[in-house]
A and B are shown apart, each in its own frame.
Chain A
């Protein structure tokens, strides 16, 4: 009698406390497609079993919200408790170290190890969060156009120049306006550049762009734009910002589209079965056949007032079943080593999507060390954005290649110098 009564009383007290002391966590999120819906469902499940925590998702536009406003808010000491961010290195100083609150930090180290380095300040062993997606860059092709042209899709290691030629043949045979399109992004360009031999860094680890490999790659881009092989609307038609080249590809206006794994989810919706699309392994250069890794991470923010609760949410989300469901429904490549090896049951009927995800997964081991270093470099966006914008000036004739290389180096050096003060 007595123990039961005490238990009941305790439960009542605990429940009341739980209800009274509900912690509200805010998560800043952005959407490319449906992943917000999936995350919300997972969080609802967490809240059902953890009534003392409520998580509110604030969905913001990517460019203005995540890239521009969030860093300003964090710098001013404001901001959410959790956020899905892309600039892992750049914001690493504002991230929460979950390690003291985690019940099993080794699980994190084992499965997220290499990616945690992207999120940590130099020399720290903090665990700020996990990857909502790992991305790999690689080209998509419009298989139907190849079939219509009667030209075989190249197999085995093929160089960028060969791919460009084949794509051009297909384009001419089928009356497609352009052979190729690439996202307007230094990150996208970096993979092929590294394949051409670009080192991106000097011996001391400072960014240095001008070398033979980089010149070779930039010259290829210049020639492709000048000869009409590359769709100009993406690189030239807009400036000062990221522009995706997905619309021309979805519209079957190009044969080859250099982009990455995050497009798969959208393509299953927007292309459907209008044409057959495939992912091909990254084309080769003299140095490698590599793409660029990347991704977004869900991280805790250091300024939060509820670090323990943030850790609990994180621990729920990184469980294998939960993450497997997240990756499976969003069609993102897992940023979890265990799941990557075991394989994800991607929830799609589309053959194109399955093939694509498998090819992307197979590209991961081929990623060049320079690509990893570049992605992990804290100021990589400075490199990417200046490379991209100065190169565009060469396309339109405002600068020569030499001037552009000089300028981008000067821009990067100047920004890094200011950051050091």
Chain B
């Protein structure tokens, strides 16, 4: 911790101690008042206060919005309609064909999101794991390479979309390269399949560094003795991977899967700036449906948007619980 030995370090330490002591002037008498057993509530208080006012209460408000209609902003001005919004949302003759649904864009968004998650998660896990395995070896300039893979995570979604728009558009870098190689330019953003493929690739590009680091940490906590023992027993690399690495990596893998799924379902900004949900509705995802219905339109339908967001939240919650259950049982299996 050589940073602390420097002058600014010592100064920062001094300030820290001072501030904490000042807070202690409040916290310690409170402890005498309410007792040690009740202290955790005090520690939780600031966080829960902000949470309650700015996240939980709006979420409850959102739930209420889902049962109302009209364009009034204030809840008291909105007529209560019960489950009407939900009924309209789920009014479908054939759930596999969005064209038969009343809210066809919602169901198109659902289908697109499912396709997106399937490929993006698989690709993300594969690439993050591979990179983590590579970074786990003894290589030169390890810190540099770690930073390289993490850098795109720092970029704002708008910047990511801007960069890739420049690369993928009709007269962009990629087509220039193709033409230079003597091939025909491809209109990536005009084709539904290509557009979907590219938003999957781009979101993997932008986020994999985060998961790579988590997996890397998990890999580094696997005891070396296990591998050495395996080498002595004569098992080869692939077998060691399957029987030692994978099982012990499972807990970390679960964290990655849960977080990646949540992020994946909530994908919006990058896609919106890159394709706007197009061509047509080929890359139109769930959160964009909520945004365009409840916000970016001359007559926002707050009720419908809220109903869709409640659906989204519920599905995510169930999915996460299932994931965690499966993860726990696999942990038990492999222990």
Taking a contact as CB atoms under 8 Å apart, the answer to whether B79 and A421 are in contact is yes
Complex interface: chain A residues within 8 A of B283 (CB): 239
- CB-CB under 8 A for A415 and B301, given A76-B73, A237-B189: yes
How far, in Å, is B62 (CB) from chain A's closest CB? 15
A207 contacts B by Cβ under 8 Å: no
Structural contact, B277 and A240, CB atoms closer than 8 A = yes
- The minimal Cβ–Cβ distance linking B189 to chain A, given in whole angstroms, is 5
Assuming A72-B73, A421-B70, is B280 touching A236 (CB within 8 A)?
yes
Q: How far is the CA of A414 from the CA of B70 in the complex (A)?
A: 11
Also in contact, A403 and B192, with CB within 8 A (given A68-B296, A385-B298):
no
Q: Any chain B CB within 8 A of the CB of A133?
A: no
Q: With the chains together, A90 CA to B298 CA distance in Å?
A: 7
A241 shortest CB reach to chain B, Å: 5
Q: Does A322 contact B (CB under 8 A)?
A: no
Chain A residues with Cβ below 8 Å from B296 are 67-68, 240-241
Closest CB of chain B to A418's CB: distance in Å? 5
Checking A67, A75, A76, A240 against B278 with a beta-carbon cut-off of 8 angstroms, the contacting residue is: A240
**A76-B73, A232-B190 as given contacts; A419 in contact with B299, CB under 8 Å:** yes
Interface contact B170-A379, CB-CB below 8 Å: no
Query: Which of B79, B187, B276, B295 makes the CB contact (< 8 A) with A68?
Result: B295
- Whether A287 sits at the interface, judged by CB under 8 Å, is no
- Whether, in the assembled complex, A381 has its beta carbon less than 8 Å from a beta carbon of chain B, the answer is yes
Complex Cα gap A395–B280 (Å): 8
Q: Which residues of A contact B190 (CB under 8 A)?
A: 232-233, 236-237
Contact yes or no, A240 B295, CB < 8 A: no
- A190 CB, nearest partner CB in chain B, Å: 15
Is B86 in contact with chain A by the CB < 8 A criterion?
Answer: no
Encoded as 1 (CB less than 8 Å from any A CB) or 0, chain B from 260 to 285 comes to 00000000000010011111111110
Q: A278 an interface residue at 8 Å Cβ cutoff?
A: no
Q: What's the Cα separation between A90 and B300 when bound, in Å? A: 12
Which of chain B's residues have a CB closer than 8 A to the CB of A76?
A: 73
Q: Is the interface of B mostly helix, strand, loop or mixed?
A: loop
- CB <8 Å contact, B278 and A236: yes
The docked-state distance in angstroms from the alpha carbon of A236 to that of B276 is 10
Asked if B278 and A392 sit within 8 Å, CB to CB, the answer is yes
Query: Are A240 and B292 interface neighbours, CB within 8 A?
Result: yes
Q: Please, which residue of chain A has its CB at the minimum distance from the CB of B296?
A: A68
**Chain B residues whose CB sits within 8 angstroms of the CB of A238 once the complex forms:** 189, 275-276, 278
Q: How far is the CA of A1 from the CA of B334 in the complex (A)?
A: 105
Asked if B246 is at the interface (CB within 8 A of a chain A CB), the reply is no
> How far apart are the CA atoms of A379 and B288 in the complex, in Å?
22
B71 touches A419 (CB 8 A): yes
Interface size on B, residues (CB 8 A): 34
B272: which A residues are within 8 A, CB to CB? 240
Most chain B Cβ neighbours within 10 Å, of A67, A90, A381, A419: A419
What CA separation (Å) do A47 and B324 show in the bound complex? 64
B70 with A236: CB separation less than 8 A: no
**Cβ A241 vs Cβ B276 within 8 A:** yes
Closest residue of chain B to A384, judged by CB?
A: B298
Cβ-defined contact, B279 with A396, below 8 A: yes
Q: Which residues on the A side are within 8 Å of B297 (C-beta)?
A: 381-382, 385, 415
The answer to whether the Cβ of A263 comes within 8 Å of any Cβ in the partner chain is no
Q: A418 and B70 in contact (CB under 8 A), knowing A233-B169, A381-B298, A399-B99? A: yes
Q: Chain B's nearest CB lies how many Å from the CB of A408?
A: 12
Contact status A416-B299, CB under 8 Å: yes
Task: Give complex CA distance A381, B298 in Å.
Answer: 6
Q: How far is it, in angstroms, between the C-alpha of A399 and the C-alpha of B280 when the chains are bound? A: 9
Among residues of A, the one whose C-beta sits closest to the C-beta of B293 is A415
Cα-based distance from A90 to B71 in the complex (angstroms):
12
> Contact: B279 with A421, CB < 8 Å?
no
- Kindly provide the distance from the CB of A233 to the nearest chain B CB, expressed in whole angstroms: 6
Interface flag for B69 (CB, 8 Å): yes
Q: Is A393 an interface residue (CB 8 A)?
A: yes
Contact of A407 with B299 at beta-carbon distance under 8 Å, contacts A236-B190, A239-B284, A393-B280 already known: no
A398 in contact (CB, < 8 A): yes
Question: Judging by beta carbons under 8 Å apart, are B280 and A75 in contact?
Answer: no
A87 within 8 A of B: yes
Question: Of all chain B residues, which has the CB nearest A232?
Answer: B190
Closest to A398 in B: B280
Q: For A68, A72, A398, which residue has the most chain B Cβ atoms within 10 angstroms?
A: A398
- Residues from chain A with Cβ under 8 Å of B170 in the complex: 233, 237
- Counting chain A CB atoms within 10 Å of each CB, the highest count among B279, B283, B292 belongs to B279
In the complex, chain A residues whose CB is within 8 Å of the CB of B299: 379, 382, 415-416, 418-419
Q: Is B331 part of the binding interface, using a Cβ–Cβ cutoff of 8 Å?
A: no
- A239 to chain B: which residues have CB within 8 Å? 275-281, 283-284
14 contacts between A and B (CB under 8 A): A232-B187, A233-B169, A236-B278, A237-B170, A237-B279, A238-B276, A241-B276, A241-B296, A385-B297, A396-B278, A396-B282, A399-B99, A418-B70, A421-B69
Give the 5 A-B residue pairs with the shortest CB-CB distance, closest first: A239-B278, A396-B280, A421-B70, A381-B298, A239-B276
| Supplied contacts A236-B279, A415-B297, A418-B301, 15 more A-B pairs, CB within 8 Å | A68-B295, A72-B73, A75-B73, A233-B169, A238-B278, A240-B278, A396-B192, A396-B278, A397-B280, A403-B99, A416-B299, A418-B71, A418-B299, A421-B69, A421-B71
